Structure 1
Amino acid sequence: MSVFDEKSRYLKYAHALEAVDARGRAVGWVTPARIPPQRLLGEHRRRDGHRLDRIAAHYLDDPTGFWRIAAINDALTVEAIADLPRVRIPVREG
């Protein structure tokens, strides 16, 4: 799974599998990432210009950790929480 960044949720919480298609070719695929429950740090009140990557950089020390903020807010995508006035923030991983 070298196509994923070392902080990727797919590298941490998914499984790489391989299947053989009808023509006998090996096809790689990745299961959905099953993110374990996260502990809540608190909430962040969003204002204009507060992007999730910047919020993640501030609270999680990882701008690519925006997916953790989406997950703790029960959103499948970042866009699903783009207009929320407050977003829950998970505790930084050790």
Structure 2
Amino acid sequence: MGGIEPYESALDAIPGAHPYPRSSRYHDAEIGVYRGDDGVEVRYVKRRLLPPLPRDEGDTAPHVVRSGERADQLGQRYFGDPGQWWRIADANPVMDPRELTEEPGRKIGIPLPGGGFGHG
């Protein structure tokens, strides 16, 4: 994972600085604005497309799911942040994080730093 400048993580704590923290899967998503007939604006996150899947095994490290593991635990183990489970979900790909670990013995891919999945 690349280093984050101290001021960047400090900005994450300021309400309104940007809608999602840098660690969020939605940080780089485009924000849209819908204006109703009454003139009220509603901001929303535009559709987020998944990054390209790994082209070969070299883009991910293998992990064999153990009984009782959860996606947030894998986020903590591999990225030091349980909220980074989404990077693993994107690399496999699954919509529901429970799909990653529901089957003990399943082999999943963990994205490598700089491998194009998320902010690594």
How does the TM-score come out when normalised to structure 2? Answer: 0.65
- Encode CA deviations 1:35-77: one digit per residue, 9 max, x unaligned: 4336523211111222111112222232211011111111112
Gap runs ≥5 in structure 2: 1-15, 115-119
Letter in 2 for 1:87: I
* Partners of 1:17 and 1:45 in 2: CA distance: 39
**2:46 pairs with 1:27:** no
SS in structure 2 of the partner of residue 10 of structure 1: coil
Letter in 2 for 1:8: S
Equivalent in 8, 11, 17 of residue 27 of structure 2: 11
The alignment's C-alpha RMSD in Å is 2.1
SS in structure 2 of the partner of residue 11 of structure 1: coil
SS in structure 1 of the partner of residue 26 of structure 2: helix
**2:104 pairs with 1:81:** no
Following TM superposition, the consecutive aligned residue runs of length 4 or more in structure 1 with deviations greater than 4 angstroms are none
**Contact 2:71–2:98 (CA under 8 A) maintained in structure 1:** no
* Partners of 2:53 and 2:112 in 1: CA distance: 7
How does the TM-score come out when normalised to structure 1? Answer: 0.80
Gap runs ≥5 in structure 1: none
| Post-superposition offset of 1:11 | 1.0
Equivalent in 49, 70, 77 of residue 89 of structure 2: 70
- Encode CA deviations 1:3-52: one digit per residue, 9 max, x unaligned: 4232111112x101112012211111111222433652321111122211
**Contact 2:19–2:27 (CA under 8 A) maintained in structure 1:** no
What percent of counterpart residues are identical? 27
Aligned residues: 93
